[in-house]
Amino acid sequence: MAGPEVKDTLQNSHTEFSETLSSRGSRDNGLDGILTTQPDRFSALNVDAFTLDDLTERLAQPAEPVSQVPLLDIPGSYHEWLNSAENELYDVIRSGKFILGPQVRRLEESIAQYCQCKHAVGVSSGTDALVIALMAAEIGPGDEVITTPFTFFATVGSIVRVGATPVFVDIDPVTFNLDMSRVEDAITEKTKAVIPVHLYGQCADMAPLNTLAAERNLVVIEDAAQAIGAEYKDRRAGSLGDMGCFSFFPTKNLGGFGDGGIVTTNSDALHERLQILRVHGSHPKYYHKFIGGNFRLDTLQAGVVAAKLPYLDQWTAQRQENAGRYRKGIADAGLGDRVRPPVEVESRHIYNQFVVRIADGQRDALREHFKQKKIGCEVYYPLSLHEQECFRALGYKTGDFPESERAAGETLALPNSFEITAEQQDYVIEAIQDFYS
């Protein structure tokens, strides 16, 4: 298009474009700014408008040095997928089908395919995914469920919510996941299921667990809340057990605009039961064979997650690249013995978190140093669940699970959202060097 034509197009489209931007700024539309021949015409709007000469001058200026790094920058990704999400949301609003609308079914089909599973059932949260999976497996009072004490509360809280008893097994110190060599010793005549957690985005060692579960007639429910897209021996998380439970909480690699979750399975019988349980156990409508709950995935959230799913592998690849850059930076600084990066074991780690071990009792001091440097970081998790007050009745005491307790005192998550830049990672690594100098 020639110069005069560009100018005419800008002038002719200005009125309609301005009306759109008057109520929503350029960043809300997925724009960083508007290149125009007449920036003054946009001065009354919430938008950054500039000429080609302005842009050239800006690009010639040196970038401002990094002075802070957030742990997670959710709005930072909006420019890639916000328009698609808006279209999905408008479709839901126009349809009026806010409960189990067609977007839910389409997302279920897409997630099932992505996770290499036959079925998926959208539910109200990752926590409810665990609860409904336990209900579908008919686990309740008098039953025991083996799991890890080093995980988010929902893993164990869900077991208690269905009336069953959690039985803890310590973790593998390398992967932070359930130590499968210890599981068999924890099995009793009351054991009905095992919940391995794919912590931080790395799958647990599923082969020996599945062999043991088949021998002892145990249900395997994957807590894959942090692990969508993770792989173990070329199989996706969610396809490795009887059921897989995922979360769409906004901070997850595939997050919505609120709560949401999904359960995957290859079992036709479990699929049917999950569908019935999520609508109060009703099938057909108003006829109840089971006591279920309100576990439905909101149609609006399904639309948002569906809009983001096509970008997931790209974002995962970026997180993996970031992990490699951290590893190299830590190694080049000669700090590998003090700041120990995660180790991948027979898996495709998707780095929902990039968690390092901090040696010599320096974790909390380094965390405070990061705070002073305006670097976001987090401890996942500061107290092993067997030491939580609400689980004292289980009879465990400090010292029962030393690896879980040690991890709670040494682990620290570094910023690793896919939006993080190389310069921001360099700033984090320099802050670590500064701390140890």
Q: pLDDT (tens digit, 9 = 90+) per residue, 13-48?
A: 444 444 444 444 444 444 567 778 777 777 666 667
Q: Domains of the chain: which residue ranges?
A: 3-60, 77-310, 312-436
Strands 191-195, 219-223: pairing kind: parallel
CATH topology of domain 77-310: Aspartate Aminotransferase; domain 2 (3.40.640)
Residue 274 pLDDT level (bands cut at 50, 70, 90): very high
What is the rounded distance in angstroms from the CA atom of residue 106 to the CA atom of residue 258?
19
The answer, yes or no, to whether residue 124 has pLDDT greater than 90, is yes
Q: Name the burial class of residue 23, with classes exposed (0-12), middle (13-18) and buried (19+) by CB atoms within 10 angstroms of its CB.
A: exposed
Helical (H) or strand (E) element with 121: strand 119-123
Residue 2 has pLDDT above 70, yes or no: no
SS3 for 350-361 is CCCCEEEEECCC
Reported as a pLDDT band with limits 50, 70 and 90, residue 51 is: confident
- Nearest CA to 140 among 160, 168, 162, 167? 162
Residues of the chain by 3-state class (helix, strand, coil), percent to 5: 45, 15, 40
At 8, the pLDDT band (50, 70, 90 cuts) reads low
Convert the pLDDT of each residue in 138-197 to its tens digit.
999 999 999 999 999 999 999 999 999 999 999 999 999 999 999 999 999 999 999 999
Looking at residue 54, its pLDDT comes to 73
User: φ and ψ at 378, to 5 degrees?
Assistant: -155, 155
Q: Which residues contact residue 332 at a Cβ distance below 8 angstroms, ignoring those fewer than 6 apart?
A: none
Q: Using CA atoms, how far apart are residues 330 and 182, in angstroms rounded to an integer?
A: 33
Other CB atoms within a 10 A radius of the CB of residue 348 amount to 20
Q: From CA 69, how far away is CA 366, in angstroms rounded?
A: 15
115: how many CB neighbours lie within 10 A of its CB? 25
Backbone angles phi, psi at 61, to 5 degrees: -80, 145
340: pLDDT strictly greater than 90 = yes
DSSP reduced 3-state for 175: coil
Helices (H), 115-205: 126-136, 153-161, 183-186
Is domain 312-436 given the CATH code 3.50.50.60 in the classification? no
> Nearest-CA neighbor of 406 among 360, 347, 373, 342?
360
CA atoms within 13 A on the CB side of 348: 14
Determine the Cα–Cα distance for residues 314 and 72; give it in Å rounded to an integer.
17
In the sheet that holds 411-414, the strands lie side by side as: 339-340, 354-358, 411-414
Q: Where are the beta strands (DSSP E) in 336-409?
A: 339-340, 347-348, 354-358
Token representation of residue 190:
């009351």
Picking from 34-38, 103-107, 265-269, 356-360, which range would have the lowest pLDDT averaged per residue? Answer: 34-38
pTM of the model: 0.87
Q: Over 70: is that where the pLDDT of 370 sits? A: yes
387 or 83, greater pLDDT: 387
